[in-house]
């Protein structure tokens, strides 16, 4: 398999952008930009990140708590900062319940170590979620090798024209239903 072709294929899956944060060997906050993040389980609550084996964060995460910071749409500079292009002004840190977290994110998922698995040239790190914070900000996205942002899909059809509109529900309170078997009997007797 051609690595560039495989990378391009993987890049067609749009993802959010996260910074995995933990503490380094000296106990100082450390972060790494990662887009390989996924929810694993609701019971127990588990989340997964995948880090390159040669990354510093990979060493720092061994058996230690961490946080998954889902970056907000206005945090492009933060994504680049933790991807190796330091910003002029360092991102702001906050104390988290398990590890340091970043200020201004779209979501923060604080984890305790759960399991680590071999992932070839990457390490698959699964954490047990201890706490989430969801401020309601739009996320930063990544697709096809470029950062993106959310925008509504322009279909030319407004959602209000659909019976599936969640603002109106499937049926109103006055809806009544005839069971299928009874309905079939009514149409044969008519």
pLDDT of 131 > 90? The answer is yes
Q: How many CB atoms lie within 10 A of CB 87?
A: 13
Domains of the chain: 3-149 (2.30.110.10)
User: Residue range 40-67: average pLDDT?
Assistant: 89
Q: How many CB atoms lie within 10 A of CB 155?
A: 7
Which tokens hold the place of 106? 């779209």
Cα–Cα distance between 40 and 38 in angstroms, integer?
Answer: 6
pLDDT score recorded for residue 86 = 87
pLDDT score recorded for residue 124 = 93
Binned at pLDDT 50, 70 and 90, residue 68 comes out as very high
Q: Global pTM?
A: 0.76
pLDDT score recorded for residue 29 = 95
Taking CA 172 as the corner, what is the angle to CA 166 and CA 175, rounded to the nearest 5 degrees? 140
pLDDT digits (tens, 9 = 90+) for 84-94: 888 888 999 99
User: Residue range 151-179: average pLDDT?
Assistant: 61
Which tokens hold the place of 2? 């051609």
Cα–Cα distance between 184 and 190 in angstroms, integer?
Answer: 10
pLDDT digits (tens, 9 = 90+) for 29-47: 999 998 889 999 999 999 9
């Amino acid at each position: 398999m051609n690595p560039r072709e495989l990378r391009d294929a993987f890049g067609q899956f749009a993802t959010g952008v996260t910074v995995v944060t933990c503490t380094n060997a000296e106990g100082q906050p450390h972060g790494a930009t990662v887009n390989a993040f996924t929810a694993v389980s609701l019971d127990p609550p588990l989340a997964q990140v995948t880090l390159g084996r040669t990354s510093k964060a990979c060493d720092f995460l061994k058996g230690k708590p961490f946080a998954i910071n889902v970056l907000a749409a206005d945090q492009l500079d933060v994504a680049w900062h933790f991807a190796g292009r330091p910003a002029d002004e360092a991102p702001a840190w906050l104390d988290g319940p398990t590890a340091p977290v970043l200020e201004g994110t779209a979501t923060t998922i604080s984890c305790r170590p759960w399991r680590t698995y071999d992932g070839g040239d990457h390490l698959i790190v699964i954490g047990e979620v201890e706490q989430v914070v969801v401020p309601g900000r739009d996320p930063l996205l990544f697709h096809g090798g470029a950062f993106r942002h959310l925008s509504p899909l322009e279909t030319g059809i407004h959602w209000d024209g659909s019976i599936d509109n969640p603002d109106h529900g499937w049926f109103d309170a006055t809806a009544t239903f005839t069971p299928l078997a009874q309905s079939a009997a009514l149409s044969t007797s008519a």
